[in-house]
Amino acid sequence: MPGGFHITGAGEYGDCPEDCPSDTNQEGLPACQIETDLPYANVSNAFPDTCAERLSRPNKKIYFMGNSYTYFNNLPVMLKSLAQAAGFSMTSAQRTPGGEPLSGHAAAGIPSGDWDVVIIQGQSQEPAFTPIMIYHSQLPSTQTLVGKIRANDPCTLPVFFQTWGRRDGDSRNCQYYSKICTFDGMQDRLTRSYSTFAYVNQPAKVAPAGEAFRLVGDRGYLYTSDGSHPSASGSYLAACTFLETIWGVSCVGNSYKPVPNAAILQQIAHDAVLSGDWSWPQSPSGPPCLECAGR
């Protein structure tokens, strides 16, 4: 657990100024509390008016930035098949090195081109870490990356791939941060972090794949044996959330059904998308994770 100030009611930690006294109160918490703010360099109220036609195109040119959570079971091909079955079309390219974090994507940037959508997925554990770690490493990486995306094309829509908690929580890091010891605790952190990524880089969207996993009661079949990577059913569930997030149409009733329980997963994905507002800007709206944004 990083040291620093304690945010009342949040149970999270951040930075102390140099003149912060070293004594603690009866709860063992540092005496100083401060607020900081990220430079929201990529925030805009809307896309330029000239982007309207691009944003409404039925054919999408999509660039995937992720890792094994994206390339397992060839999720991009699943999404293309869902789109075709819904009457749309899609071309894509991807950068998906195994285990790649957001910082790696930010350093690499994207190839030039008129990308309609860039799907952004971080390393599976990092976005679930403490808010101060999100503030210092994850959010700046998203800002660098989205800055490069918009420098290439201001009409590109960033879509953040909200990943899923591990089946049994993050057992490797749970000793340092108890909130991620279970699937639900880890998913809570992932959901708030990815939503904050979209808030800080708005206009942007989140594809709520992790929240779709949460809606499955006995979700073990969504994973491979390692309890982390997706099975074909898990990837299909994620792809269904992308269809609705990008094209605005429900996956329910889609004829592309490559897994036995496809109809059930289609409804679950639709319910996950309806469970929240996953598009920014929102009015009124503040950072979904106040602590992650230094507030």
Contact 128, 186 (CB under 8 A): yes
Q: Is pLDDT of 10 > 50?
A: no
Query: In this structure, is the dihedral angle defined by the CA atoms of residues 10, 185, 67 and 259, taken in order, positive or negative?
Result: negative
Phi and psi dihedrals of 280, rounded to 5?
-125, 145
Q: Is pLDDT of 262 > 90?
A: yes
Q: Residue 117 belongs to what H/E stretch?
A: strand 117-120
Which residue ranges form the domains of the chain, and what is each CATH number?
54-280 (3.40.50.1110)
For 99-127, what is each residue's pLDDT tens digit? Answer: 999 999 999 999 999 999 999 999 999 99
For residues 71 and 206, what is the distance between their CA atoms, to the nearest angstrom?
19
What number is the average pLDDT over the span 39-44? 64
For 147-191, what is each residue's pLDDT tens digit? Answer: 999 999 999 999 999 999 999 999 999 999 999 999 999 999 999
Residue 139 confidence class, pLDDT cut points 50, 70, 90: very high
What number is the average pLDDT over the span 248-277? 98
Q: Is pLDDT of 24 > 70?
A: no
Instruction: Compute the mean pLDDT over every residue in the chain, rounded to the nearest whole number.
Output: 89
Query: In this structure, is the dihedral angle defined by the CA atoms of residues 14, 6, 277 and 268, taken in order, positive or negative?
Result: positive
Q: Is pLDDT of 19 > 60?
A: no
User: Tell me, what's the pLDDT at 285?
Assistant: 81
Residue 34 confidence class, pLDDT cut points 50, 70, 90: very low
What number is the average pLDDT over the span 249-274? 98
Burial zone of 137 (CB within 10 Å; 0-12 exposed, 13-18 middle, 19+ buried): middle
For residues 13 and 19, what is the distance between their CA atoms, to the nearest angstrom?
17
Note the Cα 291 to chain centre separation in Å: 17
Residue 13 confidence class, pLDDT cut points 50, 70, 90: very low
pTM tops 0.85, yes or no: yes
What number is the average pLDDT over the span 74-90? 98
For residues 288 and 238, what is the distance between their CA atoms, to the nearest angstrom?
22
User: Tell me, what's the pLDDT at 294?
Assistant: 80
